[in-house]
Structure 1
Amino acid sequence: MQMLLVEDDMDLAELIIEYLNAEAIECDIAYNGSMALNLLEENAYQVIVSDVMMPKMDGFTLLENLRSMHIQTPCLMLTARNTLEDKLIGFEKGADDYLVKPFELAELTARIKVLAHRTQPPSSKIKISDLVLDLRERQAYRAGQLLALSAAEWQLLEILVKHSPAVVSKIDIEDHIWGGEAPSKDALKMLIYRLRKVVDSPEVSPLITTVRGRGVMIAAPEDQAQC
């Protein structure tokens, strides 16, 4: 994790950085708001921790500048003034969290990790054995090879993978693909057959299984044995 610490107290800054480094958090330091803006123009950070009272540019002014520049990096404000008015001003200007001095370094670290976790986008890729589904790009790979899928085949694979290793009922599949009943009696049966031909070629272990009376599932071989 990479974060920016904005703190004019050099002794406190050194103490914080030493503790965070031990927690595998890399930290750049700025001793005032102006220096912080220069660093933010050149680097991307997951979290910003900033003191409020600083020379040249205080923390609130820094925060205003960040948000006006459309930098939405989560920002935790450090302050010695434990008043509701100060906190409300900070939140109004775009602060995400507040910590009053003096504080425990363990609590600061925990709050930083929570803020960093909020900024992590959910993964767009789902992996089952050697099958990889890229939801953002709407592409699927088996053993590293791109699979050629029709729109309906993609929708079927998508619902199976998202529910893996659970069995998906045929009613749920039809509703997902066609918004209700299949257009013909054998439409789903033929679609499953075509998807199997693409995903479960003779060169690889089969992942798609029809569970009699329940529906269809896709799972790694070791998970199939449990159903």
Structure 2
Amino acid sequence: MSISVLLVEDDIDLAATVVDYLELENIHCDHAVNGVQGLALIEANNYQVILLDLNLPRLDGLSVCKHVRENSNDTPILMLTARDSLTDKVAGFDAGTDDYLVKPFEIEELVVRVIALSKRKSGQVANLTFEALSLDLKQRSASYQALPVKLTPITYKLLEKLMRESGKAVTREALMYAVWGEEQPDSNSLKVHLHHLRNSLKKVQAKLTIDNEAGFGFVLRSQSETQSKT
């Protein structure tokens, strides 16, 4: 399966080299030449990885990164820059980047990092949203239409995992690992805590469901989407 990547880089020669090489590795790469164009493409498409130059015209890389994270986008970001000081790297991570690659770099290393980042979501977002449901990852709290959703530490982890998958099915095994890691409880525990999570959402009259799809897993959906499938 091809990986979808966006490269935001104003050096046309470098961008052409990166795009051509990634295509050879079965990595589809769109290209933007400035920060404003990059943000427009990010908002219009679903990328698995964003490659972001720091020094960009119209809108610099740090500003682009901050905007992406403020909009609850958890696409992994790899910052590309000639700045290699610790201060610059800290600024990049504070803005929400997941990895850092200093120019000039070996294209083979870039490919390795892209493949690794494409297998996960970014941990740098401050909030996750789904419909009117919001999850504050720093405060470890949830709200629906500004009403607080009462969560236990376990139901919080379940909700976070379901929201990070953006309405896609999450297997029972993935949910249990997200909550308990390697020390798994009996299989009935997941059922019990999902029941508690559903009740917590019901108490704030959230128009959301957690559906069990046999053979696929559990999906967080809007009620309208659930009804359209019945």
TM-score by length of 2: 0.53
Compare CA radii of gyration and give the structure with the larger one. 1
Q: Distance in 1 between matches of 2:187 and 2:169?
A: 22
Q: Distance in 2 between matches of 1:52 and 1:100?
A: 10
**Which runs of structure 2 are paired with 1:26-45 in the superposition (5 Å)?**
26-45=28-47
One-letter code aligned to 1:100: V
Select 1:94's aligned residue among 77, 86, 96: 96
How many residue pairs are counted as aligned between the two chains? 132
Match of 1:113 in 2: 115
Match of 1:2 in 2: 4
Select 2:67's aligned residue among 59, 65, 68: 65
Which secondary structure state, in structure 1, belongs to the residue aligned with residue 119 of structure 2?
A: helix
Match of 1:78 in 2: 80
CA deviations over 1:75-113 (Å, ceiling 9, x no partner): 000010110000000001100000000000000010011
**Superposition deviation, residue 123 in structure 1:** 7.6
Given the superposition, is the C-alpha separation of residues 63 and 124 from structure 1 closer, same or farther in structure 2, using an over 3 Å criterion? closer
CA deviations over 1:94-147 (Å, ceiling 9, x no partner): 00000000000000010011100123969846xxxxxxxxx49xxxxxxxxxxx
Q: Distance in 2 between matches of 1:89 and 1:115?
A: 20
Q: Distance in 2 between matches of 1:177 and 1:94?
A: 37
Unaligned runs of 5+ in 1: 126-134, 137-174, 179-227
Given the superposition, is the C-alpha separation of residues 62 and 21 from structure 1 closer, same or farther in structure 2, using an over 3 Å criterion? same
Given the superposition, is the C-alpha separation of residues 85 and 43 from structure 1 closer, same or farther in structure 2, using an over 3 Å criterion? same
One-letter code aligned to 2:71: M
**Superposition deviation, residue 176 in structure 1:** 4.8
Q: Distance in 2 between matches of 1:112 and 1:65?
A: 21
Select 1:48's aligned residue among 47, 50, 56: 50
**Superposition deviation, residue 42 in structure 1:** 1.0
Q: Distance in 2 between matches of 1:63 and 1:176?
A: 40
Q: Distance in 2 between matches of 1:67 and 1:118?
A: 16
CA deviations over 1:160-208 (Å, ceiling 9, x no partner): xxxxxxxxxxxxxxx6569xxxxxxxxxxxxxxxxxxxxxxxxxxxxxx
Select 1:104's aligned residue among 99, 102, 106: 106
Once superposed, which parts of structure 1, at least 4 consecutive aligned residues long, lie more than 6 Å away? 120-123
